[in-house]
Structure 1
Amino acid sequence: MTPHVKWSIVGIVLGLILLIWLPWWATAGIVVLAIGIPAAAYMSLDASQRRRYRELRRRKALR
Structure 2
Amino acid sequence: MSTQTKLVIGGVVVGFLTMFIIPWWVSALIILGVLGAPVVGYMMLDPSQRKRVRAQGRKRLGS
Measured against the shorter chain, the TM-score band is 0.7 to 0.9
Aligned counterpart, 1:57: 57
Identity fraction in percent: 37
Q: RMSD of aligned C-alpha atoms?
A: 1.8
Q: 1:2-21, aligned counterparts within 5 Å? A: 5-21=5-21
Q: Distance in 2 between matches of 1:7 and 1:58?
A: 22
Q: Which runs of 5+ in 2 are unaligned?
A: none
Q: TM-score, normalised by structure 1?
A: 0.80
Partner of 1:22: 22
Which blocks of at least 5 consecutive residues in structure 1 are unaligned? none
Return the TM-score normalized by structure 2. 0.80
Measure how far apart 1:10 and its partner are.
Answer: 2.7
Could you list the structure 1 runs, at least 4 aligned residues long, displaced by more than 3 angstroms after superposition. 1-8
